[in-house]
Copies of this chain bind each other. A is one copy, B any other.
Amino acid sequence: MAPRTDYTGQNCSVARALEVVGERWTLLILRDAFYGVRRFGDFASHLEIPRAVLSSRLRTLVEEEVLARVPGPSGHDEYELTEKGTSLWTVVRELMAWGDRYYSPGGPRRILLHAADDGVLDEMGRCGGCGELVAPADTVITPGPGIAGEPPLENPLAAAFREPRRVLRPIRPELA
């Protein structure tokens, strides 16, 4: 790997992980993937990321088997989280919890619920109802108090993220 992406000689799993997911935009792409975004154009329009950068990041993530490129129902390929990618959920969740805690004065912007019993998840991802650790596929993201009163969004994809959504379930903007 070339100068800018790597942290050679760090000899550390944090550095190795960051070589894969630590570049600018990458964790936001993965966040969107957990939200159900799967298509190139949806990532591009929601993130407002330069298409060349998105193309490069998706290629890297597919090479690293964090995402898989699979045929989609529309005839175009889609990008799907692999098991390896899905296991980054805890990282995304912890970053969200930290951002909510320190940068959202009105309270959390998102509340995570256990789909099975509607229990609220704590910052560790444990269900306040049944006490279980909840996998991302069993998690529902709902708007929290920190997001109330904000103006509605023009972007249909961004607007869909204001509704309760099951994590990992593919989103189709035309179906939102």
Q: Which residues of A contact B (CB under 8 A)?
A: 4, 7, 9-18, 20-24, 27-28, 31, 47-48, 84, 87-88, 90-92, 94-104, 108-110, 123-124, 133, 146-147, 150, 153, 158
Q: Which residues of B contact A133 (CB under 8 A)?
A: 124
**Copies of this chain per assembly:** 2
Q: Is the CB of A13 within 8 A of B88?
A: no
Asked if A28 meets B24 with Cβ closer than 8 Å, knowing A84-B102, A110-B13, the reply is no
Q: Which residue of chain B has the shortest Cβ distance to A88 in the bound complex?
A: B98
Q: How far is the CB of A102 from chain B (nearest CB, A)?
A: 6
Q: Which residues of B contact A20 (CB under 8 A)?
A: 103
Q: How far is the CA of A47 from the CA of B133 in the complex (A)?
A: 35
Q: How far is the CA of A31 from the CA of B7 in the complex (A)?
A: 13
| Top 9 closest pairs, chain A to chain B, by CB | A13-B99, A17-B99, A16-B99, A16-B103, A17-B95, A13-B100, A90-B94, A91-B94, A14-B96
Q: How far is the CA of A87 from the CA of B99 in the complex (A)?
A: 11
Q: How far is the CA of A146 from the CA of B11 in the complex (A)?
A: 10
Q: Is the CB of A150 within 8 A of B11?
A: yes
